[in-house]
Amino acid sequence: MMYKRAFAAGLAVFLLISAASAQRAEVTISLNEAFFDSLLDSVFQNFDPPEFSMASTDVYRGGAETQSGFGWGSSFWPADSGSLRLSGENPYCNESVKLLREMKGVRTAVKFRDGKIYVPLAFSGNYAPPLIGCVEFAGWAEANLDLEFDQNTQKLVGRVRVYNVNLNGTGGIGGSVIAKLIQGSIDKKLNPIEIMSLDKVSFGVPVQSSGTLRMKAQKIKPEVGAGALNVRVEYEFVKG
């Protein structure tokens, strides 16, 4: 009799666990490179290009790093530097960087390679370093998008990290300066980027004559695959 009761208790626990497992599900949302290409096309066709101010960036405001690292002077920039040049005829400088759809054959895009999100960024802009005046620049930046799940806000966010800048017509001169300016602007105006929020991917399923069964998102797990970002969302089914 004791063995029968123990067996019945064990069976009841097993059934409860099975029922709990049955009330959970996982949905995978796949975002491929073609999706992001269409999204970017739509953004650039229907809105003004995204533009970020660099006026508050401290990279070239006279700190010790700036003075010793870059040695400002009129001989720093090549006279025939193409897209990076002095603009004495136009004293007004809005000190900003503007993202472009394409620059010299390089398109702003989102690509998935070797488990990482690679983001080439075409841009143009200008800024005013001390003793030089307004400087125009253009080129493209190499950047990665790092994903993380913020437990406090329950959101999947991304942070753009610029690691290299290619300037038109300068042979690489000035790239480290522009890279710091662009990264500073992105950190102030763009990072972190909200990609997905748990409350926005939760929804209700109406049950006839019985109310609503709610699919409540519990976890988000991003995985970078071949040519796509796969976001796994774990759901729990709850009444109400």
Write down the pTM of the prediction: 0.72
pLDDT tens string 140-198: 999 999 999 988 899 999 999 999 899 886 655 667 888 888 888 888 888 999 999 99
Residues 121 and 141: their CA atoms lie apart, in Å, by 5
- Per-block average pLDDT, block size 10, for the chain (240 residues)? 46 38 80 96 95 68 37 35 43 84 96 95 88 86 94 92 85 73 87 92 82 87 94 88
Residues 84 and 129: their CA atoms lie apart, in Å, by 13
